[in-house]
Amino acid sequence: MRIAYFDCSAGAGGDMIVASMLDAGLDVKLLKSQLSTLGVKNLKIKISQTKRCGLRAVSFQPILPHQHHHRNLKEITAIINKSKISPKAKTTAVAIFRKLAEAEAKVHGKGVNDIHFHEVGALDSIVDIVSAAIGLEALGIKKVYCSTLSVGGGTVKCAHGLMPVPAPATAELIKGVPSVGGPIQAELLTPTAAAILTTVAERFCPLPAMTIETIGCGAGTLESDEFSNILRLILGQAEAEDSENADSVCLLEANIDDVSGEVVGSATGKLLKAGTLDVYTTPIYMKQNRPAVQISVICKIEDVQKIEEIIFKMGLTLGIRKQILQRSKLSRGFVTVGTKFGRIKIKTGSLNGKIVNAKPEFADCLCAAEKHSVAVKTVLDAAMAAYRKNL
């Protein structure tokens, strides 16, 4: 299975995404032929080789006459649907613009259909988004992964005036996504790119297990002596562990030496109820040989903000360490077996379609044991015996 990984250490723009695809093998004639069906008059595409901080990259630049027309989602959707690009590319492009419209509506306090796009609604951004949708299909990409997003810093001038970086719509789009400021004080992640990446990416993580086939480098318009403004697209074949049974999670940790055990225990219970994947504590020694505890919380990446808020509000710590971890897991399922103590659920784990692990649900067994006044081990053994018999 062919997968793609976007390395956004220097941020990302819609033009950079398309340029990286062209450098990775997207056929120029195919792209121009498809774009010509958008019905955009006098559309020209400039593709050139360039350098950023001494590194080679491709530049993609749609050339269009100056315009003041602001379009809403309905108009943009009509332009895309009237084109002759593939149905799959149309669906992807419309989904990206809808996500963008929802973000703009949220930050401006309007309805989705009341949003009239300015920068992102200009034809060059329509071209960027449609080109990205075409490229994903033409390159045979089945799954997309992405690095932590570098957003830059400082301020940026928009149609609504001077805005902080990341711009409000960009910030809304990347909620729940691993992001970092810098490496310079400038806008490095545009709303267009944020919409594309958050729509098509399966997850945001370190480079997944893959056999690399080709690397495409897309240049941004910013030229700096401090860093290379390049988006890298890495294409390759997924390794076995990068299947549907692998994902990424976040590990949150903090060292605690000034909170009572009652508070730590209470926080652990609250974190588990909040939907964390696991919470555990480890005895440690800190400065001046103080007995302390390290709390470790494993959660879904999209839940990080919620979990951090619980940790801080419980008064456990002033700072939290974070790591994005790759996780391999078995496909899980449940079967129910009948025993003389009642019906018991069995949790199963499968690898490549074959069950390799099976275990009775302890809560079911404990409940049955109390009801029949027997040892819980007796119920566990009966449940496994029934499961084996059914096999």
Q: What ranges do the domains of the chain cover? A: 2-238, 246-328, 331-390
Give residue 144's pLDDT. 96
Tell whether the model's pLDDT for residue 241 goes beyond 50: no
Residue 243 has pLDDT above 50, yes or no: no
Write out pLDDT tens, residues 305-321: 899 999 999 999 999 99
pLDDT of residue 173: 96
Band (pLDDT 50/70/90 cuts) for residue 117 is low
For helices 123-138 and 87-108, angle between their N-to-C axes, nearest 10 degrees: 140
Digit-coded pLDDT (tens) for 154-193: 998 877 688 899 999 999 999 989 999 999 999 999 999 9
Domain 246-328 in CATH 3.40.50.1010 = no
pTM: 0.68
Arithmetic mean of pLDDT, 271-277 = 94
Looking at residue 122, its pLDDT comes to 66
Look-up of token digits 């588990």: 272
Beta bridge partners of 46: 61
Supply the pLDDT for residue 151: 97
Averaged pLDDT of the chain: 91
What CATH number matches the domain at 331-390, 3.10.20.300, 3.40.30.10, 3.20.20.70, 1.10.3720.10?
3.10.20.300
Sheet holding 331-339, edge to edge: 331-339, 342-351, 354-360
Task: Give mean pLDDT, residues 340-350.
Answer: 94
If one counts every other C-beta atom within 10 angstroms of the C-beta of residue 236, the result is 20
Q: Is 11 left (phi over 0), alpha (psi -120 to 50) or beta?
A: left
Check pLDDT > 90 for residue 329.
Answer: no
Higher pLDDT, 300 or 141: 141
Q: What's the pLDDT tens digit per position in 349-387?
A: 988 788 999 999 999 999 999 999 999 999 999 999 999
Amino acid at 49: Q
The 10 Å Cβ neighbour count of residue 359 is 14
Give the span between the Cα atoms of 323 and 212, in whole angstroms: 24
The set of residues, in sequence order, having a beta carbon less than 8 Å from that of 186 and lying 6+ positions away, is 152, 153, 154, 156, 165, 222
pLDDT in tens, 60-82: 999 876 665 678 888 899 999 99
What local confidence, expressed as pLDDT, does residue 66 receive? Answer: 67
Contact 250, 176 (CB under 8 A): no
Q: Is 274 left (phi over 0), alpha (psi -120 to 50) or beta?
A: alpha
C-alpha distance from residue 309 to each of 105, 277, 281, 320 (Å): 26, 16, 18, 11
Residue 157 confidence (pLDDT): 83
Instruction: Name the E strands within the chain.
Output: 2-7, 44-52, 55-63, 71-72, 116-117, 143-146, 149-152, 155-158, 161-164, 179-181, 201-204, 210-219, 230-238, 246-256, 278-285, 291-300, 321-328, 331-339, 342-351, 354-360
* Measured distance CA(363)–CA(213) in Å, rounded: 48
CB-neighbour burial class of residue 317 (10 A; exposed 0-12, middle 13-18, buried 19+):
middle
